[in-house]
Amino acid sequence: MLKKICTSVSKSYYYTGSTYPLNQRYLSVKIRPSTPTVTKLDEALQLFDEMLHRQPRPSITEFNRLITVMVKMKHYSTGLLLYKQINLMGIDSDLYSMNISINCHCQLNQVSYGFALLATVFKQGHPPDVVTYSTLIYGLILADQVFEAVELFKKLLTEKFCEPNQVMYGTIINGLCKVGHISKALELLRFMEAGSCKPNVEQYNTIIDNLCKDKMVDHALEIFAKMIEKGVLADVITYNSLIQGLCNFGRETEAAKLLVDMEEKGIAPSVRTYTILVNSFCKEGSVKDAEFTVQKMVQRGLDPDVVTYSALVDGYCLRGEVDEAKKVVDRMVERDLVPNIVTYSSLINGYCKKKQIDEARHLFLEIQDKGLIPNLITYNSLLQGLFHTGFLKQKEFQEAKIFLEEMINQGFSPDANTFSLLLHLTPSIRQDSPIRTILQRLAGDKRRDDKMFDSTSGFIS
């Protein structure tokens, strides 16, 4: 990734004809790996400044290229600011720059500003294209306005504002799945199959993955078969979704068959493919099989990543083998991998399982010193440990309450796991204020499950 960005930036230098020594730039990124983003942003800004004052003025295309690099680095607000400056310098924007700006607003969860720019696009006399509309549809989905996204999509179709392509269909299919309307998504897939814009592997993948996640693995396998029948080639993501789906329901044997199947078809399993298996074995308690899988992936020339090792750490912790888990962490560090919050949450969970609350508490503080931010899983693990001893010692119980309040203040909404561990407390303890607040909030969340779509309405009226 780093290399890719560096290449992009240096390529921009090539376009601008700058003679700035590139080696030095690579060096500066290498020497300070902890702050590469800032360095890279600085580089981009410096380049922008230079371009702005160059004579003759670079074309809008060149600015678009540079800002695209920054947007890929997720510097959306900066991208928007730069376009503002470009316009102030009297350089006209084109449809590309408008689309990039709309995307920036959407990513910043400002979809309404995106629509404001749509008006500008019309005013400037460029007709918006399928990219413009896809971006806005995606923006609505990002803002949890899937219903509005579908409405816009329908309008585009019926009024023939633009010809939807695979990306646009894919965006809607994904949005529908995100809010649990898989049958609607399937309906749209069938609509594509019947029409002129045929679905490709990405739309099939979305459906297959969501069916698997929604416990409909067999249905997913049917779609998979149908897809192959239609001549659409499966890719590694298709297999990963199916293998994951099968593993989630204890169907590891079938998952292993798919692994063989994909290799026979010349689709190389990825680190993720193996990690899914490692994780599945760990959850089942067979860390030995998980370790064996790791060995196998290394033999195939794949390097286990943080997720792979974290799964192993979790596997050992689930069995209460914290010492073994710590050895895995050492193995990670030896390979220059940095344990993350998931890794540490597992370790905290492991300590709690062994009732080593002091170690758990200590680790919780230590990782924050390292700059890691605890997440809901971390809090749940710790709370579980503390509540557990809390029955015996008032001190731990008081401490758990403090963590609970801290968790809420950090903006984490309690989930089903929090709920279940609170339910195991005695009724009198549950009356304590932070706990009561959580229970009330959970009760409220359940009521907020409103229906978004009329299940009888089709896509095209």
Q: Is 125 left (phi over 0), alpha (psi -120 to 50) or beta?
A: left
Q: Does 78 contact DNA by CB under 7 A?
A: no
DSSP assignment string, 184-197: HHHHHHHHHHHSSS
Contact indicator for 103, 137 with CB cutoff of 8 Å: no
- Residue 283 buriedness (CB in 10 A; 0-12 / 13-18 / 19+): middle
Q: CB nearer to DNA: give 11 or 455.
A: 11
Contact indicator for 198, 192 with CB cutoff of 8 Å: yes
> From the list 78, 101, 110, 132, which residue makes contact with DNA (rule: CB under 7 A)?
132
Q: Classify the C-alpha dihedral 99-104-108-110 as positive or negative.
A: negative
- Point out which span in 33-41, 184-192, 204-212, 251-259 binds DNA (CB under 7 A): 204-212
Minimal distance in Å, beta carbon 456 to DNA? 27
Q: CB nearer to DNA: give 357 or 377.
A: 377
Q: Does 415 contact DNA by CB under 7 A?
A: yes
> From the list 211, 241, 332, 382, which residue makes contact with DNA (rule: CB under 7 A)?
241
Site string for DNA, 149-178 (x = CB under 7 A): ----------------xxxx-xx--x----
Q: Does 101 contact DNA by CB under 7 A?
A: no
Minimal distance in Å, beta carbon 279 to DNA? 5
Minimal distance in Å, beta carbon 377 to DNA? 4
Q: Is 17 left (phi over 0), alpha (psi -120 to 50) or beta?
A: left
Minimal distance in Å, beta carbon 235 to DNA? 5
Q: Does 349 contact DNA by CB under 7 A?
A: yes
* Tokens read off for 239: 């297999």
Q: Classify the C-alpha dihedral 156-159-160-166 as positive or negative.
A: positive
Tell me which residue has tokens 């470009």.
86
> From the list 78, 101, 110, 244, which residue makes contact with DNA (rule: CB under 7 A)?
244
Q: 3-class DSSP state for residue 393? A: coil
Site string for DNA, 19-58 (x = CB under 7 A): ----------------------------------------
Residues 278-307 that bind DNA (CB under 7 A): 279, 282-283, 305-307
Tell me how far apart the alpha carbons of residues 129 and 296 are, in angstroms, rounded to a whole number: 48
Q: Does 413 contact DNA by CB under 7 A?
A: no
